[in-house]
Amino acid sequence: MTLWNEIENMLCMLATYLPSILMAIVPFKGKLRFGKLITSLLIVGLCISEFVLLYLNVHFSISNEVLLALSFCVCSFFAFVAIKAHKGKIMFTLIILANITNCITVCSKWLEKLLFGKEAAMLPMNYTLVICTLITSLLVMIPVFFYFSTHFFNGMSINVNNTPWKYLWIIPTTFYITWIHHLDDSGEKITTIAFDTAHALFFLLLNAGAFFAYHTVIRMLNILSENLELERSNNALTLQTLQHENLKERIAEARRAKHDIRHHIVYLDSCLQNGEYEEAKEYLKVYKKSLPDDSAIVFCEHPVVNSLLLYYAQLSKNNSVDFDVAAAAIPQSTKLPDDVFSVVFGNLLENALDACCEQTEGKRIILLKSKADEDSFFLHIENSYNGEALLSKNGVFVSSKAHGSGLGLASIKAIVQRYNGIFETSQDNGRFAVSVFLNIPQQNQ
């Protein structure tokens, strides 16, 4: 084989694999482990590795399934080294692009036969295949890129809960294995399958079904993303409502005091005119105690957390529940977003208050301890309850408002997974306790 043939092989490989390699990096452009230079060198190393595999396939005729398996293993290794993301996300993206690459390979060979005849297409690789591969890559990858930009990237950016990614990659893997099995049964090279109309049609239908499955998964992820954004908006609206309700209550108290003050003045004036100074002093002492507290209650420096604690402290008072904040050392500014505090504090305090309100005997109490610093966040809440089991047999918390696990607890568990934290619940002697620990990521990580 001449040098020109080797150059043709390399160009054909680049036209086939390079668009997919670049496409695999785009969804994770904000999560690359290295800078542009090292990442570019890794891409060059990956291309060289793929060329070596292609060389072995051409000169030593290794089997199709072995070639595909080795190629995918090499791509996976470079992706795991270069990208800092959940491995399920990386696998999901890589296998989708591997299936698209196989489709490009078959379509390129079919196009070569159509444009240049069967004799040219029977050759392993030459300039005609390079031309057809470039045409096919442009026709396939440009629509795929726009589809990824409008649908795929949003779904891949969701970080709330990584549990689905442990299994979603199995969907494209099923189609990939089906393709390898089809090759094994046919006993033919990938590039010669395009000559058989039945094989080519089967492969195109397989990829069409696969892409529909990918679209369904991505659409579900986008819906989840929209729901999460709506939940954040609702949390912000809830905080504004809490602040508005507190302000209305203070204004109402001030109006009541202003309305009643003239009656107090009349009585005090009567006491002074009659020389009843001690009675006037005693009356003022009692009246002072009845005035609304105009001092600002501050549980912690963080405005969102403080608003939530003020709100639930008032609700607890209205429902005869002792609300004890033993510690709330949360600074005004933290690296955790406000919606995390809203979800965690809001849902846990709501559940605790609901449990106390259902309590018919004994003292109602909510005890809270919390602390946050640059590296971590901790929250512990204890509450009394009516004695009925709040934990199911498998240790899952059962919401007091509905049968089954509470949706609020599901949101908290998702946050705990996102921040590699710990979520624990326990109950003993009429007390239910829940603890949340989050690792706060550093900016340079």
- Specify which residues 327 forms β-bridges with: 369
DSSP letters for 58-78: HHH---HHHHHHHHHHHHHHH
What topology does CATH give the domain 303-439?
A: Heat Shock Protein 90 (3.30.565)
Burial degree of 293 (CB within 10 A; 0-12, 13-18, 19+): exposed
Secondary structure of 381-409 as H, E, C letters: EEEECCCCCCECCCCCECCCCCCCCCHHH
Percent of residues in the chain assigned helix, strand, coil, to nearest 5: 65, 10, 25
The residue behind tokens 């507190």 is 246
Structural domain spans, the chain: 3-228, 234-290, 303-439
**CB-based contacts of 308: which residues, under 8 Å, 6+ apart?**
239, 242, 341, 342, 345, 346, 349
pLDDT number for residue 157: 63
DSSP, collapsed to helix, strand or coil, labels residue 29 as coil
User: How wide is the angle at C-alpha 281 spanned by C-alphas 275 and 283, nearest 5°?
Assistant: 105
Residue type, 215: H
pLDDT number for residue 444: 45
Nearest to 105 by CA among 52, 67, 59, 150: 67
Distance CA 47, CA 14 (A): 7
pTM for the model stands at: 0.57
The phi, psi pair for 325, rounded to 5°, reads -95, 95
The residue behind tokens 């609700």 is 315
The residue behind tokens 């189609």 is 175
The phi, psi pair for 301, rounded to 5°, reads -80, -20
pLDDT number for residue 435: 94
pLDDT in 10s for each residue of the chain, 445 residues: 566 667 777 787 787 778 888 888 877 877 888 888 998 898 888 888 888 887 777 677 666 667 777 888 888 898 899 888 888 888 888 888 888 888 888 888 888 888 887 777 676 667 788 888 888 888 888 888 888 777 776 666 655 555 677 788 888 888 888 777 766 555 455 556 667 777 777 777 888 888 888 888 888 877 777 776 777 677 667 666 766 776 677 677 677 777 778 778 888 888 888 888 888 888 888 877 766 555 556 888 888 888 888 888 888 988 899 999 988 889 988 888 888 888 899 889 988 999 999 888 889 999 999 999 888 999 999 999 886 655 554 455 555 554 334 556 777 888 888 888 999 988 888 889 999 999 987 654 4
